[in-house]
Amino acid sequence: MQTVIDFQQLVDVIGDAVIASDVDGVITMWNPAATRIFGFTEAEALGQSLDLIIPEQQRNSHWDGYHTTMQTGETRYATDVLRVPAVHKEGRRLSIALTVVLEKRDAELSEKYVREHTNDLKDHVNDYADWLE
């Protein structure tokens, strides 16, 4: 039996933040979990640079890698969960887990981020397990 999954509904209810950006690093998708984790509403985040959540000290290295990935269409982190710092709207630093997913559409790349608080990961897993029962 094959089940059809409504992608937007899944993104809206998942406990992890899902953030998509275009080839220039402009945020094009921001789900409710991203608001909960980073403090910015969808209206505040959409159309903004990913710099919104990247600590200033990490921006140069982030953009070097980002632009290389957009030019080549490949990332060396395709199957890795990266642990990186981020920044909340209130300015406090966050420790997050980050998965990079490249989407190729109409010969244009975009990069999707799934982010979560590393400290809350165990709670998320337990919540999902309870929900599934």
Minimum mean pLDDT range among 8-12, 51-55, 84-88, 104-108: 104-108
Mean model confidence pLDDT for the chain? 80
The edge-to-edge listing of strands for the beta sheet with 108-117 is 27-30, 17-21, 108-117, 93-105, 82-87
CA 67 to chain centre: 17
Task: Look at residue 68 and tell me if it is in a domain.
Answer: yes
Task: Look at residue 36 and tell me if it is in a domain.
Answer: yes
Q: pLDDT tens digit string along 28-80?
A: 999 999 999 999 999 999 999 999 999 999 999 999 998 998 888 888 877 78
Reading the block at residue 87, the tokens are 């920044």
Task: Look at residue 104 and tell me if it is in a domain.
Answer: yes
Segments forming the whole domain that contains residue 93 = 7-132
Task: Look at residue 2 and tell me if it is in a domain.
Answer: no
Task: Look at residue 96 and tell me if it is in a domain.
Answer: yes
The listed range with the strongest mean pLDDT (84-88, 94-98, 114-118) is 84-88
Task: Look at residue 122 and tell me if it is in a domain.
Answer: yes
Number of structural domains, the chain?
1
Looking at residue 7, what DSSP letter applies? H
Looking at residue 46, what DSSP letter applies? T
Task: Look at residue 46 and tell me if it is in a domain.
Answer: yes
**More confidently predicted of 109 and 75:** 75
Beta strands per DSSP E along the chain: 17-21, 27-30, 82-87, 93-105, 108-117
- Name the burial class of residue 31, with classes exposed (0-12), middle (13-18) and buried (19+) by CB atoms within 10 angstroms of its CB: buried
| Residue 110: pLDDT over 60 | no
Q: What is the CATH number of the domain that holds 14?
A: 3.30.450.20
**More confidently predicted of 43 and 130:** 43
Q: What's the pTM? A: 0.76
Beta strands per DSSP E along 22-69: 27-30
